[in-house]
């Protein structure tokens, strides 16, 4: 299927990137299934279980390697810096969505979109319901699509400064919504000055392995989403005007 707003060349790359990211999502889901079989044979749920420090370090390396792979896909697929960023966003979103699809199809998890998950470990632990990264992933796909449409409509297409401000501000606010619970845990326990030795701190380990997430900060998350979507709607309108002038 060809989108009239996006050139055929970019559309072909979107399909190729999407297939790679889909396979990568299922691949990561299988790796996580192996990991959970070691520590959560009865099924993943909170509170968290104590993980061997070496295994945890391997998990951090795996997450970093995943991001590097997604960045490289963007660099290989895109011709311009903005296009490369668009392909990174698209690959990241498809990977994330099909990671959860893979888990659901293979082991029946999560039970619902409101099931809590550990979303990421870098630079600190991110917590949130599965629905939150799913929403954010669709926003990333929308943004990537607009970038591709803009580059098709106009040579040297760029995002304007106020659009970047809205997008970056929204992303930072969403990031805060994901790490807020864990940050509160660190603050309450007085662990901020002991970050380098947390893995050997018994009090911290007891707090983390008894942590039960119950109240995701949806207001903060949706504020960030609103800023990003407002920027994307502005970009959408600007591209529509460009297409109208050049048609």
Residue 96 lies in a domain: yes
Residue 94 resides in a domain: yes
Q: Does a structural domain hold residue 1?
A: no
Domain range holding 232?
8-246
- Kindly tell me if the per-residue pLDDT of 3 is higher than 80: no
Residue of 100, 125, 209 lying closest to 175 (CA atoms):
125
Q: Residue for token digits 């954010």? A: 136
- Decide if 82 is inside a domain: yes
Question: Is residue 2 included in any domain, yes or no?
Answer: no
Q: Are 31 and 102 in contact (CB under 8 A)?
A: no
Residues 136-186: tens digit of each pLDDT: 999 999 999 999 999 999 988 999 999 999 999 999 999 999 999 999 999
Residue 50 falls inside a structural domain? yes
Q: Per the structure block, which two tokens stand in for 23?
A: 């396979």
Burial class (CB in 10 A: 0-12, 13-18, 19+), 131: middle
Instruction: Look up the pTM and report it.
Output: 0.94
Number of domains in the chain: 1
User: pLDDT digit string (tens) for 35-79?
Assistant: 999 999 988 999 999 888 888 889 999 999 999 999 999 999 999
Residue 86 lies in a domain: yes
């Amino acid at each position: 299927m060809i989108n009239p707003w996006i050139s055929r060349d970019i559309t072909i790359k979107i399909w190729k990137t999407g297939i790679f990211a889909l396979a990568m999502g299922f691949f990561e889901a299988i790796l996580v299934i192996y990991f959970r079989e070691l520590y959560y044979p009865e099924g993943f749920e909170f509170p968290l279980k104590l993980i061997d420090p070496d295994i945890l370090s391997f998990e951090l390396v795996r997450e970093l390697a995943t991001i590097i792979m997604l960045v490289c896909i963007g660099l290989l697929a895109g011709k311009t810096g903005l296009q490369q960023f668009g392909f990174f966003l698209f690959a990241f979103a498809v990977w994330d969505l099909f990671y959860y699809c893979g888990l659901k199809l293979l082991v029946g998890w999560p039970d619902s979109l409101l099931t809590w998950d550990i979303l990421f470990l870098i630079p600190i632990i991110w917590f949130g319901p599965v629905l939150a990264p799913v929403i954010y992933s669709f926003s990333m796909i929308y943004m990537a699509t607009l970038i591709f449409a803009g580059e098709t409509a106009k040579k040297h297409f760029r995002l304007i400064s106020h659009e970047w401000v809205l997008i970056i501000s929204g992303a930072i606010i969403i990031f805060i919504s994901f790490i807020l619970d864990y940050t509160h845990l660190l603050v309450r326990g007085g662990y901020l000055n002991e970050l380098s030795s947390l893995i050997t701190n018994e009090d911290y380990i007891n707090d983390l392995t008894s942590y039960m997430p119950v109240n995701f900060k949806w207001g903060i998350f949706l504020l960030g989403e609103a800023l990003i979507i407002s920027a994307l709607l502005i970009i959408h309108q600007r591209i529509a005007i460009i297409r109208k002038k050049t048609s």
